[in-house]
Structure 1
Amino acid sequence: MQINRLFEIVYIMLDRRHITAKELARQFGVSVRTIYRDIDVLSSAGIPLYTVQGSRGGIYMDEHFKFRNSLLTDEERNQILIALQSVMTTEELETSRLLSKLSGLFQIRHTDWIEIDFSRWGSRRRDKEYFRLLKNAVLGCSAVKMNYISSYGSITDRYIFPVKLVYKSRAWYVQAYDKGREAYRTFRISRIMDLEMSSDTFEKGDLPALPEIEQSDSSPVTLVHVKLRCSPHLGYRLYDEFDPAAVAQDEDGSFLVTVSLPEDTWLYGYLLSFGSGLEVLEPLSVKQMLVKEAGKIQSTYEKEVKK
């Protein structure tokens, strides 16, 4: 415990340069006398710490003292801190401590200029908890039980061996061996309805080789090549959601998009989410399905209005 505390004190002093013994004692849950003994140990080891009495007293570190970290360039140090900021979205407490240590070690004062949050609006606590459970399952080779809603709206009970967490296309996924289907499946974490760690464990060496992530759920994906025209006031969505190379602006200000999308029920709901601001130019089959879906929507609301 003392070795860990000594390292912590050095990191804190590198970051702050001045602190009182009472603050350190409170932080580590030890007595002030113990802190002063630690300072003596560090000073004897060559760390330039000294104490000052009086109203502005406390423990100080020589402002010219730095750890030798010339193996990393300034850019490399910043890249490490940016990566840690990303990890903080899932391991906030542990990573914030490490971030504080490294920022002191690297002599970088400002690390709060960027914040990365992968959680959805209004679901921060739940998303973080599910990610934590799945991360522990992956690292501990623990089985997981869950209720999962597929892209087709069906809810199924799954018993899986989580193997890998993947962030792809603005969403977190877990790749896992599905015991019920005896094959790998990729599950979107936001579609997990309920999640429970099992006491069962598995050996990764006993599982088949992990395939590349290509799709979620268990259904093969068929792509359809579509051409779209979008009103100018909705153009921002196109640049949010598609490769800019697939978007072009017409002379009248509207946007044209040519892209391949999964041909399933998700596609029609997605296209309808643009409302009247989107027109499908081709293919005809997608146009016909949208007419059919729009008809169902109209029928639903006509019944409500007639009531």
Structure 2
Amino acid sequence: MKLERLISLVYMLLNNEILSASELADKYNVSQRTIYRDIETICAAGIPVVSYQGVNGGYGIMEEYKMDRSLLGSYDVDSLVTVLQSMSTVFQDERAAETIRRLKTIQSGQQASPLSLDIGGRNVYRKSLQLLRDSISELRVVRFQYISLKNERLERTVEPVQLLYRNDSWYLYGYCRNRQDYREFKLSRMEELKSIGQHFADRHQPQAERDEWSDYRSQESKAITVVIHFSATSLARALDRLHQAEKDYHEDGSLTVRFQSDERSLTSWLPHLILGFGEDAEVIEPPALRSHIAQRLQQMLGKYQ
């Protein structure tokens, strides 16, 4: 009961300029002497409570410890709390949890937030994310085994710069000592991750934001138009994977998508995506991609004959 009263008392002080001991005693139905002891306990916990003398005196929390309500609207506060709650879950960050507690003191209402966010902190990545974030903060070198796009298992020693969350996946951006250049590494392909106890100088800049779809337009190679038809039974999955493509819906519920790609994609990620839809996807253009898919299917059939 005392703990609940102390927590409530802190919030009362945060949300009011000055409260007298008699007001607080009446609210919590205790004696003023009990309020004095509670104030001492709160101060001992590190919260700066100030005592004001005079007729209108009482107790308040130091202004520097509070956040001005006028700086943030209710929508801003709700959004920040939602993002920080997801971050504190992923990284088990007590500092984020403390910030959440402070932000909640300036929320205007008690209604549920209209925003919910899960930034992909699955348990399988949690330890790796925590190790990488600590290594970035402390400028510590990390080492891991990495599976490249060529399916090679390579050892990489990296000066970590930034954690990125993009397209439902976590990435590490850093300076690779093996390649002596900046690289991105997908966490799902990293194994045996560890800090090797070495420090590096803070000379790295975070990666600039970029639009991945615009990468195709910026390449020197000629853009290739890809057209794929999806049956009605795979409409939702097609929209999930190719939501930025041009769409043409048909009366039978099926969908045709059109987008620009590059030549390399025709033999790398696109065939994997299309084959994942089975008989529900058909490549219309370009002919080279149709031929590549047909060749892949023949090779797959050969394994079962």
Structure 1 length-normalised TM? 0.71
Q: Measure, in 1, the Cα distance between the counterparts of 2:72 and 2:205.
A: 39
Q: CA deviation at 1:116?
A: 2.3
Structure 2: which amino acid aligns with 1:99?
Answer: I
Residue in structure 1 matched with residue 258 of structure 2 by the alignment: 258
Question: Root-mean-square deviation (CA), in Å?
Answer: 3.7
Aligned positions, number = 261
Measured at CA, do residues 295 and 9 of structure 1 come closer, stay the same or move farther in structure 2, by a change above 3 Å? farther
Residues 119 and 128, structure 1, Cα contact 8 Å, conserved in 2: no
Instruction: Name the amino acid aligned to 2:172.
Output: V
Which of the numbers 286, 291, 294 marks the counterpart of 2:297?
Answer: 294
Task: Name the aligned partner's letter for residue 146 of structure 1.
Answer: F
The alpha carbon displacement at 1:286 in A equals 1.0
In the alignment, is the contact (CA less than 8 A) between 1:151 and 1:266 conserved in 2?
no
What's the counterpart of residue 198 of structure 2? 200
Residue 254 of structure 1: how far off its partner (Å): 1.7
Is contact 1:138-1:162 (8 Å) kept? yes
Give the structure 2 partner of residue 59 of structure 1: none
Give how far 1:92 is off. 3.5
Give per-residue Cα distances to partners, 1:83-135, cap 9 Å, x unaligned: 32342342334223321231123344346664422337xxx222121111111
Equivalent residue number for residue 155 of structure 2: 157
User: Structure 1 residues 230 and 12 mapped into 2: Cα distance closer, same or farther (>3 Å)?
Assistant: farther
Deviations 1:36-56 (A, max 9, x none): 52369847354379xxxxxxx
The answer to whether the 8 A contact 1:137-1:144 is kept is: yes
**Match for 2:241: what amino acid?**
E
**CA separation of 1:250/1:154 partners in 2, compared to 1, >3 Å: closer, same or farther?**
same
User: Residue 245 and residue 119 in structure 1: after superposition, are their counterparts in 2 closer, same or farther (change >3 A)?
Assistant: closer
Amino acid at match of 1:196: K
Is 1:92 aligned to residue 76 of structure 2? no
Change (3 A) 1:289 1:274: same
Structure 2 CA distance for partners of 1:74 and 1:276, relative to 1, 3 Å: same
Alignment match of 1:179 (pick from 174, 177, 180): 177
Q: Distance in 1 between matches of 2:91 and 2:205?
A: 30
Gaps of 5+ in 2: 1-5, 16-23, 53-57, 213-218
Distance 1:99 1:185 in 2: 34
Alpha carbons of structure 1 residues 245 and 291: separation in structure 2 relative to 1, 3 Å:
closer
Identity across aligned pairs (percent)?
A: 24
In structure 1, give the amino acid aligned to 2:100: L
Q: Output the CA distance in 2 between the equivalents of 1:227 and 1:268.
A: 13
Q: After alignment, is 153-162 or 243-252 more displaced?
A: 243-252
**How far apart, CA to CA, are the structure 1 residues paired with 2:127 and 2:162?**
17
Cα distance in 1 for partners of 2:75, 2:149 equals 42
Per the alignment, residue 38 of structure 1 pairs with: 41
Going from structure 1 to structure 2, the CA distance change for 1:148 and 1:8 (only over 3 Å counts) comes to farther
What is the alpha-carbon distance in structure 2 between the residues aligned to residue 293 and residue 231 of structure 1?
Answer: 21
Structure 1: state its 5+ residue gaps: 1-5, 22-31, 50-65, 216-220, 303-307
- Specify the alignment match of 2:189 in structure 1: 191
- Cα gap change, 1:245 to 1:126, in 2 (>3 Å): closer
CA distance in 1, matches of 2:290, 2:284: 8
Measured against aligned partners, the alpha-carbon deviations of 1:169-221 in whole angstroms (never above 9, x if no partner) come to 2222111111011111111112212210121111132x589566688xxxxx9
Hey, what does 1:56 align to over in structure 2?
Answer: none
Q: Look up the equivalent residue of 2:297 and give its one-letter code.
A: A
Q: Secondary structure at the match of 2:72?
A: coil
Q: 1:147 to 1:13 in 2, by over 3 A?
A: farther
Alpha-carbon distance change, 187 to 68 in structure 1, aligned in 2, over 3 angstroms: closer
